[in-house]
Amino acid sequence: MNLTLITHLIAAALAAAAAWFFQGAQMDAAVAKLNATQAAQESERHRIALDDARATFRKGEIHARNQQEIADAHAAQEKRRLFRLAAAAADGERLRKQVTEYAATCGGGEADSPAVALQRCRDRAATLGVLYGEADSQAEAFAGAAEQHADEVRTLMRVIQNDRTLLPLPGGLGLKAPPRPDAGSTP
C-alpha cells in the first residue's frame, strides 16, 4: 500500500508540475500577446503624433510662404504708389510752369492801359499759380496718405486671412487628439 500511495503521490506531483508548467506557458503567451498589443498601440500613437507634426510643419511652411508673398506684394504696391506720386508731382509742376508762362505772356484788357492790364494778368496768374501749387501739394499729400493707408489695410487683411488658415475650425482644436485606450485597459 505504501508503494501504491507513493506512486499516486508521485503521479499527483507530476500532474501538478505539468499543470504548473502548462499554466506558466499560457501566462507567458498572454504576457507576450499583451506586450505585442501595447507595442502596436504605442507605435500607432507615435505614427499619429508624427503625422500631426508633419501636418503642423507643412502648415507653418505654407503660412511663411504666404506671409512672404504678402510682404512682396506690399513692397510692389508701395513702389507703384511712389511712382504714381512722383508722376502726380511732375504733373503738378508742369501745371505750375504753364501758369507761370501764361502769367509772363498775359496781355492787357480793353479798359485798362496795357501796362495795368499786364500787371493784373500777371498778378492773377501768379496768385493762381500759388493756389494751384498749394492745392496740388495738398492733393498729393492726401492721395498719398489715402493710398498708403489703403495698401496697409489690404496688406493687413491678407496677413489676417493667412493667419486664420492656422486657426482650428469652429468647435475644434485643430489637431487630432491621440487615441485613448479603452476603459479598464492599461496603456
Give the start-to-end residue ranges of the domains of the chain: 31-164
What does the pLDDT read at residue 100? 72
What does the pLDDT read at residue 112? 64
What does the pLDDT read at residue 116? 77
Q: How far apart are CA 74 and CA 139, in angstroms?
A: 23
Angle at 151 between CA 147 and CA 155, to 5 degrees: 170
- Amino acid 50 reads L
What does the pLDDT read at residue 107? 54
Which residues does the chain have with pLDDT short of 70? 1, 102-112, 169-187
What does the pLDDT read at residue 173? 53
Grid cell for residue 143: 492721395
Q: How far apart are CA 161 and CA 170, in angstroms?
A: 15
> Is the pTM for the entire model greater than 0.75?
no
What does the pLDDT read at residue 46? 92
Q: 161 CB contacts (<8 Å, ≥6 apart)?
A: none
Closest CA relative to residue 155, chosen from 68, 80, 89, 91: 68
